[in-house]
Amino acid sequence: MPIIDEKDIALRISRGDPVAFENLFNEHYGPLIGFFRRRGLTLDTSEDLAQDVFVNVWKRREHLDKSKSIRGYLYAAAYNNFKMHLRSKAVRDAHRDELMAEEDNNVFFPKEEFDVNDHINQAIQDLPEAHRAVFVMHRYDGLSYKEIAHILELAPKTIEGRMSKALKALRIALQHLLFWILVTLS
């Protein structure tokens, strides 16, 4: 349950209330960092992007839509910051180098240690972008289908469909883990 009153906070911030802004920051800064971290960004980059979200909220405070969820606004801004970050040439080059290094070291079942979470994270990363975004926003960020629909500017039924397809793809991609778990436990 949110600490701040969603109905009141945007109005107070739009009027320049620093206490309201501080309350918003205190409640949502950590979760926004988590939002970026779950998308594979470093802690420093995640903190920078989360701070950018709040800087922009303060800069544009007079234009906040007081009839909409401030939480939804924050996550929409975070999602847009994330997409812009990925578009930068330096990040694309770094990811290309990392992917090439991972391909060289890719082994299905390492002899030393098998980490189920690595396989789950990889399966999530392998989802189509549209399905991955919905899955991560719903399961990891705790956003409702309605909030995700608002952020992505899509119908809630479209979000439901994408989530259904994401879950089906994950079940198929991760079915090999059941065999490994059964072998390990026996």
Give 121-167 pLDDT, tens digit per residue: 888 888 998 999 899 899 888 889 999 999 889 999 999 999 999 99
Q: What is the pLDDT of residue 108?
A: 46
Size of the chain in residues: 186
Q: What angle do CA 138, 140, 146 make, to 5 degrees?
A: 20
The pLDDT, as a whole number, for residue 110 is: 44
User: Which 3 state secondary structure label does DSSP give 5?
Assistant: coil
Single out the residue of 94, 77, 89 nearest to residue 41, CA to CA: 94
CA distances from 61 to 13, 17, 18, 138 (A): 6, 10, 11, 27
Q: At what angle do helices 6-14 and 18-37 cross, to 10 degrees?
A: 110
Six token digits for residue 10: 């945007």
More confident residue, 180 or 79: 79
Q: What percent of the chain has pLDDT over 90?
A: 25
DSSP 8-state secondary structure symbol assigned to residue 60? T
Q: What structural domains does the chain harbor?
A: 1-92 (1.10.1740.10), 107-186 (1.10.10.10)
Task: Give the C-alpha separation, 20 to 6, whole Å.
Answer: 11
Is pLDDT of 174 > 90? no
pLDDT of residue 95: 55
- pLDDT(89) > 60: no
Instruction: Express each pLDDT in 6-18 by its tens digit.
Output: 768 888 888 888 8
In this predicted model, which residue has the larger pLDDT, 68 or 169? 169
Buried b (16+ CB within 10 A) or exposed e, 5-40: eeeebbebbbeebeebbebbbebbbeebbebbbbbe
Question: Which band of pLDDT confidence, cut at 50, 70 and 90, is reported for residue 63?
Answer: confident
45 versus 100: the higher-pLDDT residue is: 45
Query: Is the pLDDT score of 113 beyond 60?
Result: no
Q: What is the chain's percent helix, strand, coil content, to nearest 5?
A: 75, 0, 25
Amino acid 10: pLDDT: 85
Residue 51 pLDDT > 90, yes or no? yes
